[in-house]
């Protein structure tokens, strides 16, 4: 039997005004947003709706903003009778998946996401690191080349067959970009990010996050989360906590995650949240999967 999955975007999809039309024109959305905003110790509503862009781009604000909008949109989709069998998210989008699967309440999901963003922001300032997108070179070849580069540089985001993101120390990233282009990469593009996310340099953030998890009540439900780091179904609270820990300094295996969803019988995926990044990636991973994007009020009205 065919199944539906929801997937949720990660950092980089944010924009000023995200969610404002929902908040002002849908009473259920307003109620859900207000419950989320009231649980936080900073003014996320103002940052999301009004900016400035510099504040919204700050990791500690970006991550809860994206997750908040994605959670509210997902609730509105489910209220219309579309319910997923599986959920997954790209990087911080995985936190939205936990909220939609009712592993945590929406409010606690965003609170935990805010803690993650804060820890990652603080650790990023301590390490001299960044990220770069490598286009047109197979992951196996990228691994091979990176082993020849001095310093810490790792393949961390396997976004689609021809796009892999590397992260690590800035000097190592620069050297790796040169070496990878010499090895046949079509492009090696440094990314405008504040740190080497998903690399081993972020392990301190993972340790701090691990301690934070004791403050939350986790559950498992019928809606299952497919993990980033191993592209497997998380069946227990212990497995979920392990994923949260390892994912903060481990890889995003997005290609494997999408293929796992297909192997589980998923033939229709809803990308729910800001932007259409995942829709583009999924089309390059498997053209047979039907994809629908839900980002604004009009998308819900046309559902």
User: Annotated catalytic, 236?
Assistant: no
Which of 261, 289, 275 has the alpha carbon at shortest distance from 73?
Answer: 275
Which is the catalytic residue, given 70, 91, 124, 227?
91
Which is the catalytic residue, given 90, 194, 198, 199?
198
User: Annotated catalytic, 91?
Assistant: yes
Q: Which residues are catalytic?
A: 91, 198
């Amino acid at each position: 039997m065919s199944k539906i999955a929801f997937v949720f975007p990660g950092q980089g999809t944010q924009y000023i005004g995200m969610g404002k039309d929902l908040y002002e024109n849908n009473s259920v959305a307003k109620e859900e947003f207000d419950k989320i905003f009231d649980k936080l110790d900073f003014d996320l509503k103002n940052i999301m709706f009004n900016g400035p862009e510099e504040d919204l781009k700050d990791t500690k604000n970006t991550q809860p903003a994206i997750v908040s909008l994605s959670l509210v949109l997902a609730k509105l989709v489910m209220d219309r009778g579309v319910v997923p069998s599986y959920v997954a998210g790209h990087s911080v989008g995985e936190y939205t998946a936990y909220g939609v699967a009712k592993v945590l309440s929406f409010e606690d999901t965003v609170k935990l996401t805010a803690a993650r963003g804060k820890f990652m922001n603080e650790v990023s300032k301590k390490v001299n690191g960044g990220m770069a997108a490598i286009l047109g070179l197979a992951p196996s070849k990228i691994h091979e080349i990176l082993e020849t580069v001095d310093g810490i540089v790792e393949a961390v985001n396997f976004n689609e067959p021809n796009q892999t993101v590397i992260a690590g120390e800035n000097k190592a990233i620069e050297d790796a970009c040169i070496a990878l282009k010499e090895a046949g990469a079509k492009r090696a593009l440094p990314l405008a990010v504040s740190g080497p996310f998903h690399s081993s340099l972020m392990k301190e953030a993972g340790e701090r996050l691990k301690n934070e998890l004791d403050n939350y009540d986790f559950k498992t439900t019928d809606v299952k989360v497919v993990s980033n780091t191993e592209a497997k179904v998380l069946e227990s609270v212990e497995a979920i906590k392990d994923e949260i820990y390892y994912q903060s300094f481990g890889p995003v295996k997005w290609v494997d995650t999408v293929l796992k969803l297909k192997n589980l019988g998923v033939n229709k995926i809803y990308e729910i949240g800001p932007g259409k990044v995942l829709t583009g990636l999924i089309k390059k991973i498997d053209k047979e999967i039907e994809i629908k994007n839900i980002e604004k009020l009009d998308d819900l009205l046309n559902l």
